[in-house]
Amino acid sequence: MIKKEIPFIPMGGIYQQDDLDAIINVVQDVVKGKGGFFPLPEENIFQQIFAAHEGAKKAVAVNSCGTALDCCMMALGIKSGDEVITTPLTFVCTAGTAVARGAKVVFADIDPYTLNLNPEKVREKITDRTKAIIPVHFAGLSCDMDAFDEISKETGIPVIYDAAHAVGAKYRGGPVGGRGKASCYSFQSNKNMSCLGEGGAITTDDEEFAEKVRQLKTFGYVYGEKLRVVSIGFNYRMTKVQLAVGITQTKKVDMVNSMKRERMLKLNELLGDVNEIILPPGINEDHACHLYVIRINTDIFPIKSEVFSYHLKTDYGVQTAKHYPAIWEWEAFAGLGYHGHDCPEAAKICSQVLSLPVFPSTGYDDLEYIAWAVKQTIYDLKKN
């Protein structure tokens, strides 16, 4: 094949005319002196639409998944001396928000098939200091929510689901947003639903918890005839324009998920006979299909994923991304003494993973080229 350049683009969703119209309408209203502020009328509309889409009673819009998690940590009263259990295979903010509140993060190992947090390994890490559990729906595949909800029911420990990868994901056919104490979402630029670069939301069926996090993300305000400040809070709000785009994006994220799912299934088909890599699990109608994460099967092909990625990009023009190094590998966490000695599955898998470029705009000829380039890279590395 003729060499191509296949970039790993930083935009995962689709912007169309409806998004542009929403932006223009907001700006025109402001120019005309319409479309109020504080609270933003677009916020309430977006929250209702997003809560319904994710199967929850309430949604609270915030400016990132990181601030969503931070609000949840504050609402739960997480503080110094507390412990929060989570997965090592995730973006740094999943653990970072707990550490920022003074808590100790306890890493539990992952399931080697789903790559999600293993509920049985979580049970082993629970102590009387455990104040929260944060499973992640990694790459868009929902974790074992029944098992985690059972742990919460037995122990009283709240579960906050990190759904940054999982807008539109389902668990056993049902939406994930109303489970546990809350779920935290991301609308950052590379997500399947994006609100002009940043954005996030918290969903929950606990209306008291929803009000608590809403106050925390808006300076502690309670709106009414008289504005009150009832707690110490912050400005974690989305803008009018982002909320307007959030409304249009929510209406088409299922279409985006479907487009990516079709492409991921095609790539699974094209790479199905390659034993040197392990394909992503669970790509079906319940999967949100945020990332296409393969693993180097180091048991039969002992190559570091970084080496593989380098040659795939240098020799064949296919750019990849790393989702993710183990959290304890980041300087900030290593400096605090974190390690993966008791998470062998995560340690192994984090050294194997890399994400191939699969987006709604990826053509089927591009998929064929990616599969060919992967096979050629394996051949080259074996030969050398």
What pLDDT was estimated at residue 38? 72
Whether 211 shows a pLDDT value over 90: the answer reads yes
Residue 126 has a CB neighbour count (10 Å cut-off) of: 17
What pLDDT is recorded for position 227?
82
- The DSSP code sequence of 59-83 is EEEES-HHHHHHHHHHHTT--TT-E
Taking all residues of the chain, what is their mean pLDDT, rounded to a whole number?
96
Sign of CA dihedral 118, 279, 281, 7: positive
What per-residue confidence (pLDDT) applies to 65?
Answer: 98
Output the CA–CA distances (angstroms, integers) from residue 135 to 78, 98, 143, 149, 298, in the order listed: 17, 13, 7, 11, 26
Segment 61-72 mean pLDDT: 98
- 113: preceding bond cis by omega (within 30 degrees): no
pLDDT tens digit sequence for 124-145? 999 999 999 999 999 999 999 9
Q: Quick one: how far is CA 40 from the chain centroid? A: 26
According to the model, what pLDDT value does residue 14 have? Answer: 94
Give the total residue count for the chain: 384
Domains in the chain, please, with CATH? 17-249 (3.40.640.10), 254-383 (3.90.1150.10)
Confidence of residue 226 (pLDDT cuts 50, 70, 90): confident
pLDDT band at 1 (very low <50, low <70, confident <90, very high): confident
Which residues are bridge partners to 184 per DSSP?
Answer: 162, 202
13: pLDDT strictly greater than 90: no
**Residue of 225 and 211 predicted with greater confidence:** 211
Q: Is residue 196's pLDDT more than 80?
A: yes
At 246, is the secondary structure helix, strand, or coil? helix
Q: What pTM, to 2 d.p., does this model score?
A: 0.96
The C-alpha atoms of residue 120 and residue 109 are separated, in whole angstroms, by 9
* Cβ atoms of 260 and 167 closer than 8 Å: no
With the C-alpha atoms ordered 296, 301, 302, 306, is the resulting torsion angle positive or negative? Answer: negative
pLDDT band, very low/low/confident/very high, at 261 (cuts 50, 70, 90):
very high
**Hey, what are 337's tokens?**
């003494």
For the chain, what percent of residues have pLDDT higher than 70? 100
pLDDT at 90: 98
pLDDT above 90: residue 384: no
* CA 287/CA 293 separation, integer angstroms: 13
Q: 71 pLDDT band (50/70/90 cuts)?
A: very high
Residue 42: the pLDDT is 93
DSSP summary character for residue 294: E
Tokens of 121: 């390994």
**pLDDT attached to residue 32:** 83
Q: Which residues contact 257 (CB under 8 A, 6 or more apart)?
A: 140, 167, 168, 192, 287, 288, 289
| Alpha carbon distance 146, 139 (integer Å) | 19
Residue 148 is which amino acid?
Answer: F
User: Would strands 182-186 and 200-204 be described as parallel, antiparallel, or unpaired?
Assistant: antiparallel
Residue 326, pLDDT above cutoff 80: yes
Least confident of 4-13, 65-74, 145-154, 340-349: 4-13
Q: What is the rounded average pLDDT of the residues 148-166?
A: 98
User: pLDDT tens digit string along 36-60?
Assistant: 777 788 999 999 999 999 999 999 9
